[in-house]
Structure formats: C-alpha cells, structure tokens
Amino acid sequence: MTAVDHPARDAAPRRIPFPVVDEVARHCLQEEEPETVHIEVHLPGRLDPGRLRTAFAEALRRHPRILVREAPGRWYRRRYEWELTAEPDVEMVSFPAPGPDALRNARTRALTAVPPLSASPPIRLEVVEGAGPVEGSEATDAVGAHTAAAVPRPREGHADHTVLFLTINHTALDGPACLRVLATAAELYGGRDNSPAAPPVRPPETPQPEAGTPSNWARPARVAPGTPEPSPGNGMLVCELPLPHRPKGSPYTVNDQLMVATALTLAHWNREHGEPPRPLRITMPVDDRPRDTTMPIGNGTRLVEVPFSPEELDPADLPGLLRRTAARTRALKSLPRPQLGRGAALLTAPVTPVAWRAALTRGLRRAAAPWTSTTLLSNIGRIPYPLDFGEEAGRAYAVWFSAPARMPRGLTVTTASTAGRLHLALRWSRALLSHGDGAHLRDLFEHYLHTTDTTKSTTRPTTETTKSTTGPTTDTAKPTTGPTTDSAKPTTMTEPTETTG
C-alpha cells in the first residue's frame, strides 16, 4: 500500500504545545470579558477589496506561525496544542457597510466578539471606509446602538479615510506580532518598502538597583471604583495627544514619562474617591524581539512590575520621580526573567492533566487577586513600520492599540506614536468604570503627561475643577486645569521596547 492511499494521514497538520503565556491565558478565559487586543490603523485613502484580501492572505503565508487553531484533545491530555494550517480556515477580511456609526460599531465588536481559537487564524480584519471622526466614536454597549450626542469633526482632509481594524485573540497572539504581519501585507499591497526603522542606539550600561525601592510584597492599590455600568465587558476611549518634550541628555525616556503620568493619574483618581494612600504597582510588558521579517509570531512579551510608594508620587518633585522611575525601568528590563515569572512556568509543567492544572491556575489567580498590580501600561513606542499601502491608500497617520482590562486590575493604558503624535487608548472593565470615568481619567492623564515636560511650568489640578460628569461623553475636551498641551511641539518617541502584552 502506497502513501497515496493515506492522504489524510500525510496531510495531518503539525502540532506545537501551547507556550506558557498561551496556556495560562487559556486557563483563565471568561466569556463576559473577552481577551482581545485591538489595533486600528488610519489611512488617508481607500483600499481595493480584492487586492487587500490577496495581500493579507499572502502575508499570513509568509508568517506561517499565525495560521494556528487549537487542536482538539481528551480531558486527560497533558498539554493544549496548536495545529498549524497551510491556509486560513475562514475569510478574515470583511468590509462592513459604511455609515456614521461604522467606526463605533467596529470598536464595539473588537471588545465583544473575540475570534475563536477553533478556526485558523484567530484574528479578524475589518475595513471601515468613510469612518468620519477619529475621536469620539467610542465603543457602545451593543453594536448598532446610536448616540445622539455631538461628535467632533474629522481631521481636515481625512473625511474619506479608511480604518483597518484588526481584532486579535490574545490567547494566541499579541499586538506587535500582528502589526508585523500587517506591515508585510502593506508592502505586498502597495509595493513600497515597509521595513522597520532602526531601533535607537543607547550606550551600554549596567543598571544598579535603587536603594529604597518599594517592596513588591506589599499589597498594591486598586483603581477606585467609579460609576460601574450594568453590562459586562470592557469599555474603551481613544485620543491623540502631543508627545512630551525631554531636555537634551535626560536620563529618562518617553516611556518613563508615560509611566510617571500613569502613576500620578491613578494616585489623583484614588484621592478623589477617598481611597487611603497605598503603593502602586504598574505592569509593563517588555518585548525583546526583532521587528523585521524574522520576528517570532505569537505572545512574545515578558511582564515586569514597576513599583511606586505613596510618598514619592508628588508632582512637586517631578525631576526626581522621573530619574527614579528611569532607574527602575532600566534595571527591570535588564534582568533575565521568564515571560510570566518562574511560578507560571512551574504551573504549566506537563506533569498532570491540563484540566487539573487549569482548575489549580484559576484558583490561584483568585487567591492572588489582592496582590495583582494596580494597572498595566503597554507602550508600543514609535511604530517601527511605515504601514504604507501605496499611492491611493497612503501611509498610516494614526495607529491605536488596546489591551484587555479584566478585573481585578480593571484598567489598561496603551500608547503608541505615529507621525510625531501620541495615540492613547484607555480600556476598562465596565464592572469598575463608566465612559464618563474614562473621559475624566483621560483628562487627568493628559494633564500629568504635560507636567512631565520639565521644560515648562505647570499647575497641579484640583479635585473640584477636574471632576467630570458620570454620564457618557463623546467630546474631546482638554483638562479644565493646568495649561493645555495644544502648543507643545511634537517630538519623536524613541523607546519602542514596551509593547502590548
């Protein structure tokens, strides 16, 4: 009997075991808060549907690790496994009907409809044409829901722009890996070079642990509840801000400024809501992968935690706070560490059936909830690829990412830089915050980010003047206290190493 008589056996897909990050994420899935990462890429022109589908399919073939689905298995198996497929199982690219709510609905789907792990690849690309306003079209409770509130006018010249909306199942993949695939698709579609920019060159140094660094064993502060919403899931708000300045020769990076702004924002928010001072711990994903075509596809970041004591979160000593934060982040990034720590590696060792390990992992996660970090700051940094889709579609002028915001953290902050502007996405659990709360946190973040520009004088916001309404808002108002940042000239972000978890 020849091999021709067994085509099914010869065509069996190759399997690979779940890495540690994938297995832990798979253990802890919750229907009410889907584990999705969303990327939206804004282009000034239109795309041809047929050419885009062809280019995206070819990009998947050039990065075959993205073509995976979860392999079926019995309850007593020792591992979850991915099956690698030669071709996609489903059509990934869709063109929703254009309309005034098209962008809002796409953002809502990114938060509520996760691509299944049972079909290869676990991603979805939606092309929203004529999307209208970039800011203000925020996610709603239900796709198709209409908001009567006024929204800002779209940026001049971009009334007919196109938004590529990539939704990713975070159990299988992370944002930087899928951005790499999208850059390959852009090059295949437009015929223009989309090679990554060279990373910044920094002098070698041996970071020294700072004396007096807050202990990671202390229970960290939680984000104080705002006005929770009755529906489960995540909410999201995006906005565009100027990048903060840094004095020449500063020991800190833009990432450190973002870290300080996040810490000061949450400390201010908790004071407003009557929470006693507690240490903050902010999780920071770090990505050491190359950005060229050799970049490993999957979940490739490792997580470190940056601590802050209540006493040091004083805006009166911003230069000192920035220097201490820079020392901590450099030391943490230089330490070799498993992606989720040694405890996670031990939990995922295949010595017992995976179903038993899943139950143990969920139980330990609930028990460790009080020690979970306060929030997650994922700084993608300067987008390394041009994302140039050719003459008609053009080059990306804005790119937003958002990361899951499950409880007990309940809030994630994601930033990226394109064309000299900072693109901020706040994402929260509806069990913790409302859209009005998100708008107020945005205003606080913008103010404190501006204060990290130590070349300018600023005033500290007061509780009374910065508190926003609790109802939904779709405006893009600036903070009501302190100087606005409209006059700040954008600079170039130079710290591309922190990425969406």
Residue range 473-488, pLDDT digits in tens = 333 333 333 333 333 3
Non-local CB neighbours of 147 within 8 Å, separated by 6+ positions: 104, 140, 472, 474
Sign of CA dihedral 148, 150, 151, 157: positive
Peptide bond into 310 cis (omega under 30): no
Does residue 417 contact residue 191 with C-beta atoms inside 8 Å? no
pTM for the full predicted model = 0.85
Q: Alpha carbon of 453 to those of 254, 416, 497: distances in Å?
A: 10, 18, 21
Average per-residue pLDDT for the chain: 84
| Residue 454 confidence (pLDDT) above 80 | no
Give me the pLDDT at residue 31, please. 85
d(CA 265, CA 257) in angstroms, rounded, equals: 12
What was the pLDDT predicted at 336?
79
Q: What does the DSSP 8-state code read for residue 170?
A: T
Q: How confident is the model at residue 231 (pLDDT cuts 50, 70, 90)?
A: confident
CA distance 210 to 127: 48
Q: How many CA atoms lie within 13 A of 89 on its CB side?
A: 18
pLDDT above 90: percentage of residues in the chain = 66
Instruction: Tokens 């107020």: give the residue.
Output: 440
Q: Which residues pair with 16 in a beta bridge?
A: 82
Integer Cα distance of 94 and 177 in angstroms: 21
Q: Sorting pLDDT into bands at 50, 70 and 90, what band is 350?
A: confident
pLDDT of residue 468: 37
In the predicted model, is pLDDT for residue 112 greater than 60? yes
Residues in the chain: 501
Q: What average pLDDT does range 36-42 have in this prediction?
A: 97
159-217 pLDDT, tens digit per residue, is 578 999 999 999 999 999 999 999 999 999 999 999 998 877 666 555 555 656 777 77
Pairwise CA distance, residues 222 & 219, whole Å: 9
Is-contact 423 416, C-beta < 8 A? yes
Helix-strand-coil split of the chain, %, nearest 5: 30, 20, 55
Cβ neighbors of 83 (< 8 A, separation 6 or more) are 13, 14, 15, 68, 69, 70, 71, 120
**What pLDDT, on the 0 to 100 scale, is given for residue 487?**
34
A 10 A CB-CB count for 32 gives 14
**In this predicted structure, what is the pLDDT of residue 207?**
58
Q: How confident is the model at residue 140 (pLDDT cuts 50, 70, 90)?
A: low
Residues 6+ apart with CB under 8 A from 88: 57, 60, 67, 120, 121
Residue-level pLDDT at 151: 33
Mean pLDDT of 401-422: 95
Could you write out the DSSP letters of every residue in 363-389?
A: HHHHHTGGGS-SEEEEEEEE--S--B-
139: pLDDT confidence band, cut at 50, 70 and 90?
low
Start-to-end Cα distance in the chain: 50
Q: Which of these, 122, 128, 211, 226, lies nearest to 167 by C-alpha position? A: 122
Residue-wise pLDDT tens digits, 253-305: 999 999 999 999 999 999 999 999 999 999 999 999 999 999 999 999 999 99
Residue with tokens 């090059």: 187
